[in-house]
Structure 1
Amino acid sequence: MTLYRTRAGLRHRIRDVLNFYYPDCLDTAVGGYVAQLDERDGRVYDARTKHLVATARGVHNFSLGVLADGPHWCEHAAEHGLRFLSTVHWDDGRRGYDWLLEGRTPTDRTRYCYGHAFVLLAASRALQAGIPGARAELDRAFGVLEERFWEPDRELYADRASPDWELTSYRGQNANMHACEAMLAAYEATDESRFLERAYTVADRFTRDVTAATDGLLWEHYTDEWEPDLSYNEDSPRHRFRPPGYQPGHHAEWAKLLALLAVHRPESWVLERARGLFETAVDLGWDDEYGGLYYTVEDDGEPVVPDKFGWVHAEAIGASGLLSLVDADADGRSTGYLEWYDRLWEYAGEHLINPRYGNWYERLARDHGRDGPNRGPAVEPGYHPLTNCWLVARALEADGREGLGARADDD
């Protein structure tokens, strides 16, 4: 059994990622986190900028550290970040979370559903980890999402608003995917059915109804009528956050979320759609020449941006790991999903994981070359690998196994 098929191996990877960020990420002067650490050597390159998503992901990550019996300092680190999130990022006058801060001063108060969804996710995992103040933050974040972003007639979330809550016309896949993720986490933290029902509604509405217009593929960008905007950013194929094209990584990420949803809502369509989305991710996205999954592709698999992103492979690892457990045979031995799980880990270990520190690189060229450090305020502080390692380890524990591919008493 390979290392990352085991709960022990997955916990080891979780600790490596947490250790890369701690203690340098704790801002003891201003509060919150310093998320901008160079992915090659860990040096801080921006000690002032506070991004809402990076702050929320930090709270989430250290909360997972607590839940995974990680280092003893995870609880303090999670509480430290949650305090900053709930006070400094929160705009009490306008009742929303500020997107970007310089120190403690807001520099961008745009209201993003994506950011508010991550606050709900962070608070949910913090509540599971027993972090003080988490329940109040969960309720507040959910309240804003429901009051300001939820569109009952569409049964989906709007994407963005001005600081004073004037919605823009853009609608997006990504905000709804992460809202679904956050609702599932809120349900697991509270056992309150309203969160599960909302997660189910978003998943059903988007992955079955909306995608019917694109032959079941997940387009990213929509009008306010939820019609695919196929020309969105077509002149900016390398847009960092909203590129045109289909993203294999998001197909895998939705497959993972549907596999999680199926635990609580075991309806046949949920797992069927999860399997189909994962197969689409690897069929359209896998690079047969260099290995790894492309960032964006056309509907026939022709790459638009052939770069290889760390988060894409982490999500595909989580999806294949969870689906391998779902589709295990009576003896506990998995089907082809386990082969993908091993292949993805092998690729990540060879190309995407920093061999010195254990953190994951953000982006490589198609042939795995590097064009310099990936820097900016909107960094990815280990959320994707931590999440997916923890989810697979948790599923193994729930299924009474030490590792994928065999029952615990077979190891």
Structure 2
Amino acid sequence: MRWHGDPNWLIDDPEHRWMLSGEADRLRSFFAQPSGWKRYGWRGFDGSVDAERPLELYSAARLVHCFGIARMLGDEQAGGWAAEGVRLLLSVFIDPRGGFLDIVAPDGSPVSGRRNAYGHAFALLAGATAVQAGLPRGAELLGRAREAIDELFWDDDAGAAVDEVDPQGLPVSDYRGQNANMHLTEAFLACFELTGEAEFLKRARRLAERFVITGAAPRGWRVPEHYTREWEVDEEYGREQPLDQFRPFGVMPGHALEWSRLILGIAAHDPSFVRADEAARGLFTRAVQDGWDEDNGGVRYTTDFHGAVVGSARMHWVIAEALAASVWLARTTGDSGYADWYRRFWDWTNRHVIDRVGGSWWHELDADNRPASRTWPGKPDLYHAYQAVLSARLLRPAGFAAAAHHDL
């Protein structure tokens, strides 16, 4: 396998493509056991499921999305897992008072009465994928998720979604954030690619304009994470929790990379988005300038608004988004510099992130590239790594389900 120092090792190298296909299979196999709803539980480092830990909406919906894509790529076993997950979302997670429960205990009872836009964004994405994959009750899942977002979360005046609501759709805190809205952007694009409904594309662009063009561009393409109730940037939020899983203090280079990919996806459908190329390039450049460790490799977790490192851990989802963004930029711009970054990212991932003994990818490394678990214990996530290994197979910016259906 050619990994180091080979100038001919490019995104479309046949040997690399062969490796990516095998890695996709290996990642899915980590979730082969156990059967039933336990498959959707939190996994430890060895792949075993923590039977005492509650099930979470975002995590279960991500797996449905990934397994649905796998079915479209010919894995019927994964298709069975996806169908199993759709049933789970439409039974245990459905709340008759509205929307989906965010967290349920192992016995299926609710853990919290709040509704979170983050989890609902992934339920919508899972629904769009389920329909494209031809899964039973996929349309029902999509409809339920769409209805919940429209009725509980979407603020059309703001052009964004609130983060947390009660079952009646009333906000339960003054916090507003970009993370859930970024994932809603991905889900809206998937729904547009499925249905052709202009409203989905319109919402995706409105979100990009709010959080990237208005929020990040004036700050040198550093993406503000946290906002007040009036949608003003809150640069102090999270100072006491700098390594939080979802709301850490400061700026997250990984989200700039994720937005870079999403911006290109919007522009692929909306040529009038004239600042898309500038934004995608600016976000990527800022992320690697602030986040990439020239000595040890890897993209750091968080910085402040001046680029100083706050959290030096390396999260697997960040390098996964770096891989995807570099592919999409290389394809859309023709700039070989992005292919060079892709090589560099994969070289580091191959050396440090892929766990060839225990399976899957290490979800967190420390600044010296050693496995850690301060923020992310275990290996519960397939979504980021799986999409990363599929990225090089995409010939144009598109949602992964749409690409699996038409191009891959």
Residue 214 of structure 1: how far off its partner (Å): 3.5
The code of the aligned residue for 2:148 comes to: V
Partner secondary structure for residue 30 of structure 2: helix
When normalised by structure 2's length, the TM-score is 0.88
Residue 35 of structure 1: how far off its partner (Å): 2.9
Supply the distance in 2 between the matched residues of 1:259 and 1:371 (Cα, whole angstroms): 33
Partner secondary structure for residue 135 of structure 1: helix
Identity score, percent: 35
Aligned to 1:79: 83
Supply the distance in 1 between the matched residues of 2:261 and 2:128 (Cα, whole angstroms): 18
Aligned to 2:193: 188
Pairing 1:262–2:267 present: yes
Supply the distance in 1 between the matched residues of 2:397 and 2:264 (Cα, whole angstroms): 16
Supply the distance in 1 between the matched residues of 2:283 and 2:67 (Cα, whole angstroms): 30
Which is further off, 314-323 or 389-398? 389-398
Residue 375 of structure 1: how far off its partner (Å): 6.0
The code of the aligned residue for 1:389 comes to: V
Determine if contact 1:248/1:284 at 8 Å carries over to the other structure.
yes
Supply the distance in 1 between the matched residues of 2:396 and 2:30 (Cα, whole angstroms): 25
Residue 189 of structure 1: how far off its partner (Å): 1.9
Residue 64 of structure 1: how far off its partner (Å): 1.4
Supply the distance in 2 between the matched residues of 1:371 and 1:209 (Cα, whole angstroms): 35
The code of the aligned residue for 1:60 comes to: H
Which is further off, 281-290 or 366-375? 366-375
- 1:4-403 superposed matches below 5 A: 5=12, 6-24=16-34, 26=35, 28=36, 31=37, 33-39=39-45, 41-46=46-51, 49-69=54-74, 71-92=75-96, 94-103=97-106, 104-167=108-171, 168-211=173-216, 214-266=219-271, 267-328=273-334, 334-356=335-357, 358-371=359-372, 380-395=380-395
Supply the distance in 1 between the matched residues of 2:92 and 2:60 (Cα, whole angstroms): 11
Which is further off, 46-55 or 98-107? 46-55
Supply the distance in 2 between the matched residues of 1:105 and 1:157 (Cα, whole angstroms): 27
Partner secondary structure for residue 46 of structure 1: coil
The code of the aligned residue for 2:370 comes to: G
Determine if contact 1:7/1:396 at 8 Å carries over to the other structure.
no
The code of the aligned residue for 2:104 comes to: L
Supply the distance in 1 between the matched residues of 2:370 and 2:359 (Cα, whole angstroms): 19
Size of the alignment, in residue pairs? 385
Supply the distance in 2 between the matched residues of 1:68 and 1:281 (Cα, whole angstroms): 32
Deviations 1:144-163 (A, max 9, x none): 11222111221111111134
Supply the distance in 2 between the matched residues of 1:248 and 1:142 (Cα, whole angstroms): 29
The code of the aligned residue for 1:388 comes to: A
Residues 372 and 193 (structure 1 numbering): CA distance in 2 closer, same or farther, change over 3 Å?
A: closer
Supply the distance in 1 between the matched residues of 2:54 and 2:40 (Cα, whole angstroms): 8
Supply the distance in 1 between the matched residues of 2:231 and 2:396 (Cα, whole angstroms): 38
Partner secondary structure for residue 325 of structure 1: helix
Supply the distance in 1 between the matched residues of 2:176 and 2:113 (Cα, whole angstroms): 19
The code of the aligned residue for 2:20 comes to: L
Deviations 1:242-286 (A, max 9, x none): 111111000000001112122111333112211110111101111
Residue 7 of structure 1: how far off its partner (Å): 4.0
Residues 256 and 372 (structure 1 numbering): CA distance in 2 closer, same or farther, change over 3 Å?
A: closer
Determine if contact 2:186/2:204 at 8 Å carries over to the other structure.
yes
The code of the aligned residue for 1:105 comes to: S
Residue 187 of structure 1: how far off its partner (Å): 1.2
Partner secondary structure for residue 37 of structure 1: coil
The code of the aligned residue for 1:10 comes to: L
Residues 373 and 12 (structure 1 numbering): CA distance in 2 closer, same or farther, change over 3 Å?
A: farther
Residue 2 of structure 1: how far off its partner (Å): 3.9
Aligned to 1:409: none
Supply the distance in 2 between the matched residues of 1:242 and 1:253 (Cα, whole angstroms): 16
Deviations 1:192-227 (A, max 9, x none): 222112111211222112335644421111001111
Structure 1, unaligned stretches of length 5 or more? 329-333, 399-411
Partner secondary structure for residue 278 of structure 1: helix
Determine if contact 1:176/1:202 at 8 Å carries over to the other structure.
yes
Residue 52 of structure 1: how far off its partner (Å): 0.6
Residues 102 and 19 (structure 1 numbering): CA distance in 2 closer, same or farther, change over 3 Å?
A: same
Determine if contact 2:161/2:181 at 8 Å carries over to the other structure.
yes
The code of the aligned residue for 2:294 comes to: D
Residue 67 of structure 1: how far off its partner (Å): 2.4
